[in-house]
Amino acid sequence: MKFLKVIQTGDNMKSMPAIRNAYGLKKAGMLLLGAAFVLSAAAQPRTTVEIRFPDHPVKVDPMIYGQMLENVNDSMIYGGVVDKKGNEQLHVTPLVRDLNIPVMRWPGGTVVYEYRWKNGIGPRALRPTVPTLAWNGEESYQFGTDEFLQWCKRVGTEPYININMGGYNPLYMGTLWEALEWIEYVNGSPESNFGKLRAYNGHEQPYNVKYWCIGNENYLPSRAARIQDPDTVYANRLKIWTTAIKERYPDLRILGVGRSTSWNKTVLETTGKNLHFLTQHYYVNAKLKDGELVNPSSTLFAPAKMEAHLKLLGAQLEEWNRRNGREQDPIRLSIDEWNDRHALYDGNNFKFTRQSPRRQFDVAVAAGMLNAFVRQSPHVGMANYIFPVNAHGLIRTVGTDDAYLTPLYYLFKQYRSRMLGQRLDLVVKGPGLKASEADVSIDGDAIELNPVWGDEHLNFVDAAAVENEGRIVVSLVNRSHNQSQLAELVIPTGYRASEIWELNHQSINARNMPDNRFEITPRSGKLKQNGNKATVRLLPCALAMIELEKIK
Amino acid sequence: MKRILSLGLLSVLIAGQVSAQSGKARAAKTLVQIEIPSSLAEIDPMIYGQMLENVNDSMIYGGVVNGKGEENLHVTELLKPLDIPVMRWPGGTVIHEYRWRNGIGPKPLRPVSQTYAWKGIENYQFGTDEFLQWCKRIGTVPYINFNMANHIEYGGTLWEALDWIEYVNGDSTTALGKLRAINGHAQPYKVKYWCIGNENYGPWGRHEKETDTGYAKRVSDWSATIKKKYPELSLLVVGRFLNWNKEVLERNGNYIDFLTQHYYVNTKLKDGVLQSATSTLFAPAKMEKHLSMLGAQLEEYNRKLNRANNPIRLSVDEWNNRHAVYDGKDYKFTRQSIRKQFDVAVTAGMLNAFIRQSPHVGMANYIFPVNAHGLIRTVGTDDAYLTPLYYLFQQYRQKMLGVKLDVKVKGPGIPASEANISIAGDADEVVWGDELLTFVDAAAVQNKDGKIYLSLVNRSHDQVQELEFELPAGYAAGERWELSHPDIHAMNTPENRSVILPKSIAWKTRGRKASISLLPCAVVMLELVKTN
């Protein structure tokens, strides 16, 4: 808790001088140690990174650093952001607030197919507790619409609500009237039918929630409360829903479910004019045996496959936006569920779990995903990591009054504060492997690439860059699990090396634990420059973010 | 009653001399014969039920309650004596857009919405608790209808229905029972009758036409789920034609208790005068023929499903005589046309048919008790008066109970094919032969205390009917109750509320013989009292 108190009072990591890294040295010392490794290592593979300023500047939308909440029965909402009674966990809130999360999706996910928003308003004692089919847990509706929206205000994020819209399932299906009433409850004036009810429940002012998604993975086979929808069926229903919603609420930003290029084509052609986003989901697969990543390239190169898919979808969107006069208000992609899923070997099988804390290799995966979102801007306009607290989380709670940070917490915080502004293009040349050799394993929408993706060369070093208020920020990720990489950045004329921020560990399987919370913590320091170059040595699965400043 | 049974065939006379000569001056006589049937069919009092629907004609708001949903106390006092056995609510076509959740909790918080079905307003001030409390006060059994429309925006869902049942019947440990308790009603209401859908075969209101198999399949999800969770409930589902009912029965036979049928007699009025009188006055006969077809079908299914002791029955849960009034160009349907003497004949004809089709018909709901074709009509905000149908329902509800007796009627009439009957609803599939429909319609019952009641209706609009008959051995004349008027277009109005009133007199016999004459569109109910 001592550590947490520091976080709560200070506003970034630099305010924690007392914290030592894994080697017992202060952070400046660690940088020197890193440099010593460089000197002593044998001939290292070398990667060159060159910056290209694009002709047309492209803005990176901060919403790509969004998060999501879902009651997945793994202490994510209840026992995570709130306690079992739905009361805010005051020790968690400041940690979340400090992330400056741009957008927060809720309440699902798969569980949305059985979500009844009306059960989650009004006096708490009257709210029902029901089993959740999706995750074999229960929903007590104590953290309902008002609680979510109030919590969003307190953590300083923008709410994004997902509406239950499934195929015909009389026991669970969401209905259009229910959706319209929900919007009115959230955004209606206090004189409107449901705005009146909200005011009565203590919230006079409309919340003005802008982002609303209709459906969730409707393409997947029927499971729990979900009924599988063919593309045309989903698209036609979406058209009716979005038409009714836009007619009453023209200012909302509506998200519709995306999938493959052909699914998206159907959705766009049927009801594109009512939409602002197509949602895509990608889940990297990691297999762990005895605490170690198995078949590492499958996991570490997975973001590349997602990116290849995003490119396809982005090109399709660009074409559609042009043909439909939407260049100024384009439909974009929201990767509103993404993550690296861990499956642990139990002696027999690899079993999916949300109880596996994030490790150093997850840093490489998460940074690889974020780099892809940066590069695929502006087509990618939103993304939501699952989840901020517990269950693959950035923050993990301990008992009922304690919590610690995983390395992904530092990573998200760093990206959110630095990797903003205009996207820069990069030319990266260096050692790597063929896409087909990587045997990439990623679930979700990229499956349509299976037969076609494979020949291109994938560098071990993944890089993305932005120009942010006069500074160039370059993010470098080593996707090799066992080889350090030397990355040599050519510094553009008019700039000079400024800072380096690193998140790494000698072991790619290292992690922070309740009893050892500082195994992986970020370090920052001065970036050295050699002529017009800055050279950075990247440990396996390391992330380094370097900054160049304009010479005045 | 058993004593009577042991008499075997109880043959009560009535020999009339049928005149070959017809004509206004001297109508042919009618012979009526009452028989105790070999198997006794109980008449379910629920055939005298009523229905409430917010049809935008001061039926609910401005009828049973005021615009704020507060009980109209002067109306309640009039409803109590009707002893209405069952009350359907909230629709009807409007059910396709009804959201029960909007009609609970603090009244100022309830939404106000437009009703698409009737182009009016639903302010949800008379919601579930108000309806159920009101039912208690007027002493009736509530019957609730679910929204099961297929409309993409307004259609109701099974989960919504299950929530409603829990709100109404769940004990206060259940999530929604707890909500009901917080809303002031700790005790579960134990509502037994629930209907799934309304006229789903038609494209009316917020609903698109469904096929028989489409509805039958969809409703089976509902009926099976509800019945398994709440086996004590009595479930009603939408009936229509023989084929429709077959599809529904095939898929739902184990879960349902009633098929609902709707019949609307059509009346055309020009300058206050009934047009094509036989079209209206003989309409109940066509409904009855349809009911007998459906009843035979049900009997077979009940046998097949081993439900002889718990049979699926018919609920004629919407019926009425609709008036269309000529406006100089067209006949326009209106609910503002006050019930007239000829409506007495139609209504009694419908009720007689329900009695004769007992026990297959186990429920019926007239629309509506107050205003809008109503038995009671309000005047201003604190006054109301009674139409002749009020007296008719009250009389049937008190007397026409017990077991049904067979009645044979011989007398003048017209061939069915010439009546040119106009009745909207489920009877469309009836094909008439050349059967004779007698002017006199009759039904008879035997009460628990042994009294026999014989209801006689004159379906002629312009001929007095003469009957002669003989009392059965062991019976003496009791009361003669009559609801008639020399003018079949007569009605009670706010200014003159006593134009049509029932008259009760002792009737006279000559020895064991009696004769009676029925004015056009008159109803006479004879009471026969045991002498031993």
Residues of A in contact with B104 (CB under 8 A): none
Candidates B153, B163, B173, B180, partner chain A, best to mutate (most A CBs within 10 A): B153
- Other Cβ atoms less than 10 A from the Cβ of A61: the count is 21
Per-residue pLDDT averaged across A450-460, rounded? Answer: 84
Cα distance between residue B259 and residue B124, in whole Å: 28
Taking all residues of chain B, what is their mean pLDDT, rounded to a whole number? 93
CB B319 within 8 A of CB B365: yes
**Does residue B118 have a pLDDT over 60?**
yes
pLDDT tens for A203-259 read 999 999 999 999 999 999 999 999 999 999 999 999 999 999 999 999 999 999 999
Per-residue pLDDT averaged across A88-108, rounded? Answer: 97
Shortest Cα distance from B137 to chain A (angstroms)? 28
Candidates A175, A234, A237, A271, partner chain B, best to mutate (most B CBs within 10 A): A175
Residue A14: band (very low, low, confident or very high) from pLDDT cuts 50, 70, 90? very low
Per-residue pLDDT averaged across B71-76, rounded? Answer: 97
Q: Is A176 in Cβ contact with B178 (below 8 Å)? A: no
Residue B506: band (very low, low, confident or very high) from pLDDT cuts 50, 70, 90? confident
Residues of B in contact with A123 (CB under 8 A): 182
Residue B170: both structure tokens together: 């769940």
Query: Where do the H-state alpha helices sit in A210-301?
Result: 231-248, 261-271, 296-300
Instruction: Kindly list the residues of chain A whose beta carbon comes within 8 Å of any beta carbon in chain B.
Output: 116, 118-119, 123, 126-130, 170-173, 175-177, 180, 193-194, 196-197, 200, 237, 240-241, 244
pLDDT of residue B7: 33
**Does residue A7 have a pLDDT over 50?**
no
DSSP state of A34: H
pLDDT of residue A25: 36
pLDDT tens for B270-312 read 999 999 999 999 999 999 999 999 999 999 999 999 999 999 9
Cα distance between residue B390 and residue A248, in whole Å: 46
pTM, entire model? 0.90
Backbone angles phi, psi at B43, to 5 degrees: -90, 125
State yes or no: ipTM above 0.85.
yes
Nearest partner of B240 among B210, B269, B217, B267, judged by Cα: B210
pLDDT of residue A308: 95
Q: At what angle do helices B158-169 and B175-182 cross, to 10 degrees?
A: 50
Per-residue pLDDT averaged across B121-150, rounded? Answer: 98
pLDDT of residue B432: 87
Per-residue pLDDT averaged across B236-240, rounded? Answer: 98
Residue A5: band (very low, low, confident or very high) from pLDDT cuts 50, 70, 90? very low
pLDDT of residue A498: 97
Phi/psi class of residue B43: alpha, beta or left (left: φ > 0; alpha: ψ in -120 to 50)?
A: beta
**Does residue B30 have a pLDDT over 50?**
yes
pLDDT tens for A408-446 read 999 999 999 999 999 999 999 999 999 988 999 999 999
Shortest Cα distance from A127 to chain B (angstroms)? 7
Angle (nearest 5°) at CA A89 between A85 and A95:
155
- Other Cβ atoms less than 10 A from the Cβ of B354: the count is 29
CB B219 within 8 A of CB A163: no
Residues of B in contact with A116 (CB under 8 A): 159
Residue A9: band (very low, low, confident or very high) from pLDDT cuts 50, 70, 90? very low
Residue B27: band (very low, low, confident or very high) from pLDDT cuts 50, 70, 90? low
The number of CA neighbours under 13 Å toward the Cβ of A500 is: 27
Residue A53: both structure tokens together: 């300023």
Q: How far apart are the first and last CA of chain B?
A: 13
Tell me the C-alpha to C-alpha distance, in Å, between residue A495 and each of A91, A473, A533, A546: 41, 11, 11, 12
Phi/psi class of residue B371: alpha, beta or left (left: φ > 0; alpha: ψ in -120 to 50)?
A: left
**Does residue A17 have a pLDDT over 60?**
no
Tell me the DSSP string of B467-497: EEEEPPTTEEEEEEEEE--SSTT-B--SS-T
Query: Where do the H-state alpha helices sit in A250-292?
Result: 261-271
Shortest Cα distance from A148 to chain B (angstroms)? 22
pLDDT tens for B463-474 read 999 998 878 878
DSSP state of A514: T
Residue B17: band (very low, low, confident or very high) from pLDDT cuts 50, 70, 90? very low
**Does residue A447 have a pLDDT over 50?**
yes
Which residues, in sequence order, are bridge partners of residue A467? A422, A472
- The residues, any chain, with a CB within 8 Å of residue A536's CB and separated by 6 or more, are A476, A486, A487, A489, A500, A527, A544, A546
CB A527 within 8 A of CB A498: yes
Q: How many residues does chain B have?
A: 532
pLDDT of residue B531: 87
According to DSSP, the β-strands at A277-289 and A292-294 are: antiparallel
Nearest partner of B521 among B466, B452, B455, B460, judged by Cα: B460
**Does residue B5 have a pLDDT over 70?**
no
Per-residue pLDDT averaged across B253-263, rounded? Answer: 98
Per-residue pLDDT averaged across B14-19, rounded? Answer: 33
Residues of A in contact with B225 (CB under 8 A): 170-171
In chain B, whose CA is at the least distance from the CA of A193?
B111
Coil, strand, or helix at residue B513?
strand
The number of CA neighbours under 13 Å toward the Cβ of B505 is: 9
Candidates B157, B167, B223, partner chain A, best to mutate (most A CBs within 10 A): B157
Cα distance between residue A160 and residue A254, in whole Å: 10
According to DSSP, the β-strands at B86-89 and B113-115 are: unpaired
Taking all residues of chain A, what is their mean pLDDT, rounded to a whole number? 92
**Does residue B10 have a pLDDT over 50?**
no
Residues of A in contact with B175 (CB under 8 A): 119, 126-130
pLDDT of residue A191: 96
Cα distance between residue B398 and residue A67, in whole Å: 69
Tell me the C-alpha to C-alpha distance, in Å, between residue B260 and each of A42, A420, A499, B425: 88, 65, 79, 11
pLDDT tens for B385-399 read 999 999 999 999 999
Per-residue pLDDT averaged across B338-342, rounded? Answer: 97
**Does residue B3 have a pLDDT over 60?**
no
In chain B, whose CA is at the least distance from the CA of A237?
B152
**Does residue A325 have a pLDDT over 90?**
yes
Q: Is B225 in Cβ contact with A171 (below 8 Å)? A: yes
* Residue B126 C-alpha from the chain's centroid: 23
CB contacts < 8 A, A to B, total 53
pLDDT of residue A38: 42
A138-142, A169-173, A474-478, range with the lowest pLDDT:
A169-173
Helix (H) or strand (E) holding B363: strand B361-366
Residue A31: band (very low, low, confident or very high) from pLDDT cuts 50, 70, 90? very low
Cα distance between residue A10 and residue A3, in whole Å: 11
In chain B, whose CA is at the least distance from the CA of A141?
B175
Residues of B in contact with A129 (CB under 8 A): 175
pLDDT of residue A43: 57
